[in-house]
């Protein structure tokens, strides 16, 4: 009887999670480690399902037909029963994963979106807008390695070496808190707790709390102290210290899903300051007024810049 109740409860948690009513961290606290790993596979299967070719649709329809005869194993909810049916079919017919290949997980954020991810070892990642995180969940316990494009704040549980690989450099830790920003030719790492090893090209830097290192556009590597206790962007404000304006413009575009046309100005102007994530006009004023740059919206979502 208890097993049946536990099963029904897990079905409810699964449904709420897939509907976005529970976060990864909340789900992880409610179910067992094995169930949590299985649920991650369910989500991955659902994401990949949308991209399956038409040739697989017939096979999947058969799976759904079979699962319809096992409705007693799935707790019905008033929201999106089709989605839950697909999830259940993945659980009951686990052979489907032979179609899906390896156990790579890829998570993305959209414009202006932040997303908190709970990794299998209890580590936590907060992703900034327009970022992508990729890792292999199958061998995570022995190989804590992931790939990042964009920006993310990591809270790493102590254990084996934890590695963040980017196109601009590599970060390795054992257990700590740090921020990585890697966009095009911009690479910045800030240590907030513990010790962080950063490899940029042929050079390696060991960062302690408040230490920062970055490289912009292939120029000389810079180091400085950062007094913040965590990155400002997780609180709704992007901050910059002596950064070429072109990177500030890119950050504005990622947060607000806009295109900023800057052909009429010098985008190498150095900017120190911040902008809010809550209001576009306030953000534009904060950045461009201080630099004596005019801005106007010619078409919706298209901002044009001119010198005053």
Task: Note whether residue 251 is domain-resident.
Answer: yes
Pair of tokens at residue 51: 């991209």
Nearest to 193 by CA among 229, 234, 167: 229
Report pLDDT digits (tens) over 85-127. Answer: 555 444 444 444 433 446 789 999 999 999 999 998 999 999 9
Residue where one domain finishes, among candidates 67, 100, 133: 100
Pair of tokens at residue 166: 């980017």
Three-class secondary structure of residue 235 per DSSP: helix
What is the model's pLDDT at position 7? Answer: 55
First-to-final CA distance of the chain? 75
Report pLDDT digits (tens) over 204-233. Answer: 999 999 999 999 998 999 999 998 999 999
Nearest to 277 by CA among 228, 232, 230: 232
Nearest to 259 by CA among 204, 206, 301, 209: 301
Residues 62 and 83 occupy one common structural domain? yes
Task: Note whether residue 230 is domain-resident.
Answer: no
The percentage of residues in the chain with a pLDDT greater than 70, rounded to a whole number, is 76
Residues 110 and 94 occupy one common structural domain? no
172 neighbors 161 (Cβ within 8 angstroms): yes
CA distance 260 to 305: 7
Residue where one domain finishes, among candidates 225, 255, 289: 225
Report pLDDT digits (tens) over 36-61. Answer: 777 777 776 665 555 444 444 544 55
Residues 164 and 214 occupy one common structural domain? yes
Q: Is the pLDDT of residue 244 over 60?
A: yes
Longest CA–CA separation in the chain, Å: 75
Nearest to 151 by CA among 170, 132, 165: 132
CA distance 150 to 160: 24
Domain CATH for 206: 2.60.120.1440
Task: Note whether residue 303 is domain-resident.
Answer: yes
Q: Is the pLDDT of residue 64 over 80?
A: no
**Which band of pLDDT confidence, cut at 50, 70 and 90, is reported for residue 307?**
confident
Residues 25 and 79 occupy one common structural domain? yes
108 neighbors 134 (Cβ within 8 angstroms): no
Residue where one domain finishes, among candidates 204, 225, 246: 225
Residues 92 and 153 occupy one common structural domain? no
Which domain range does residue 83 map to?
Answer: 2-100
Rg over alpha carbons for the chain, rounded to the nearest Å, is: 23
Give 189's strand partners: 180, 213
Report pLDDT digits (tens) over 140-173. Answer: 888 999 999 999 999 999 988 999 999 999 999 9
**Domain count of the chain?**
3
Which residues neighbour 113 within 8 Å (Cβ) at sequence distance 6 or greater? 129
Q: Is the pLDDT of residue 187 over 90?
A: yes
| Mean pLDDT (whole number) for 264-293 | 96
Pair of tokens at residue 54: 């038409």
Residues 246 and 210 occupy one common structural domain? no
Residues 188 and 144 occupy one common structural domain? yes
Task: Note whether residue 231 is domain-resident.
Answer: no
The percentage of residues in the chain with a pLDDT greater than 90, rounded to a whole number, is 58
Q: Please, how many CA atoms are within 13 Å of residue 141, restricted to the half-sphere of its CB?
A: 3
């Amino acid at each position: 009887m208890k097993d049946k109740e536990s099963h029904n409860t897990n079905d409810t948690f699964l449904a709420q999670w897939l509907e976005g009513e529970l976060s990864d961290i909340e789900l992880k606290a409610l179910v067992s480690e094995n169930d949590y790993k299985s649920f991650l596979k369910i989500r991955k299967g659902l994401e990949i399902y949308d991209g399956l070719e038409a040739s697989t649709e017939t096979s999947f329809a058969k799976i759904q037909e079979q699962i319809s005869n096992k409705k007693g194993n799935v707790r019905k909810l008033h929201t999106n029963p089709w989605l839950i049916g697909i999830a259940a079919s993945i659980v009951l017919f686990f052979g489907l994963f032979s179609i899906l290949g390896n156990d790579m997980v890829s998570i993305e954020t959209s414009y202006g979106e932040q997303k908190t991810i709970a990794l299998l070892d209890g580590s936590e990642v907060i992703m900034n807008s327009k970022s992508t995180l990729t890792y292999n969940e199958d061998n995570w316990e022995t190989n804590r390695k992931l790939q990042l494009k964009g920006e993310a704040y990591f809270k790493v549980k102590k254990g084996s070496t934890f590695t963040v690989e980017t196109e601009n450099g590599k970060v390795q830790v054992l257990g700590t808190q740090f921020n990585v920003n890697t966009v095009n030719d911009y690479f910045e790492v800030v240590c907030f707790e513990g010790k962080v090893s950063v490899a940029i090209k042929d050079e390696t830097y060991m960062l302690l709390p408040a230490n920062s290192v970055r490289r912009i556009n292939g120029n000389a590597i810079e180091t400085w102290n950062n007094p913040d206790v965590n990155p400002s962007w997780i609180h709704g404000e992007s901050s910059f210290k002596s950064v070429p304006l072109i990177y500030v413009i890119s950050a504005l575009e990622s947060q607000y899903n806009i295109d900023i046309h800057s052909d009429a100005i010098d985008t190498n102007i150095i900017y120190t300051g911040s902008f809010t994530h809550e209001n576009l006009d306030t953000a534009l004023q904060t950045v461009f007024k201080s630099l004596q740059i005019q801005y106007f919206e010619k078409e919706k979502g298209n901002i044009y810049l001119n010198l005053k």
